[in-house]
Amino acid sequence: MNCFVQFTDGTVKQYGSLRLVTGIFQQPHLVADDNVVIPATAIKAYQNKEYYAVSQKTFTKVAKSYVAVEALPGFAVRVITGRLNVYSLKYYNGHNTTEKLFLQSGEEGQILPCSADALTGLVKDNSEAVAVLQSKSKMLTGTKKLLTVVDVYNNSKLITKN
């Protein structure tokens, strides 16, 4: 998997490695190829060997995340890739670390906060995914239902009318 950084000015630069650096008394940042320091403020999105992350500034007005667990603070990690992408943004709500999910149709679609209405709108063209979404099963609730709907949507074959 190639590592890259998309900068806020739109340029993209490839690297052999990207490492997240956090610590007491230092701003979290990335280090590319063991010697290039890249501040979070210069980054729009990045891909390292584990995940793809995008700055929340590009899609939400939610308060900036200050938690640096797996990605730079203020960055959402793509947890599901396909025709429908799911992003996870971890942030500190004053007492605990909380996770907020976002949805994106394809690679270029707008990243939207996850809600029943947004999910319904994104999968409306897939009857299998709609059926799972409308299911009243007590086994499928909350996040488990969301993940099942996204999995069905991403793995079903498109049927088109001729």
Give me the pLDDT at residue 160, please.
Answer: 45
pLDDT at 162 over 50: no
More confident residue, 139 or 40: 40
Of 41-45, 123-127, 147-151, which has the strongest mean pLDDT?
41-45
Q: What percentage of the chain exceeds 70 in pLDDT?
A: 85
108-146: pLDDT as tens digits: 888 988 888 888 888 888 888 888 877 766 665 677 878
69-97: pLDDT as tens digits: 678 988 999 999 999 999 988 877 677 77
To the question of pTM greater than 0.85 for the whole model, the response is: no
129-139: pLDDT as tens digits: 888 877 766 66
Q: Contact 86/66 with Cβ under 8 angstroms?
A: no
pLDDT at 66 over 70: no
* Mean pLDDT value across the chain: 84
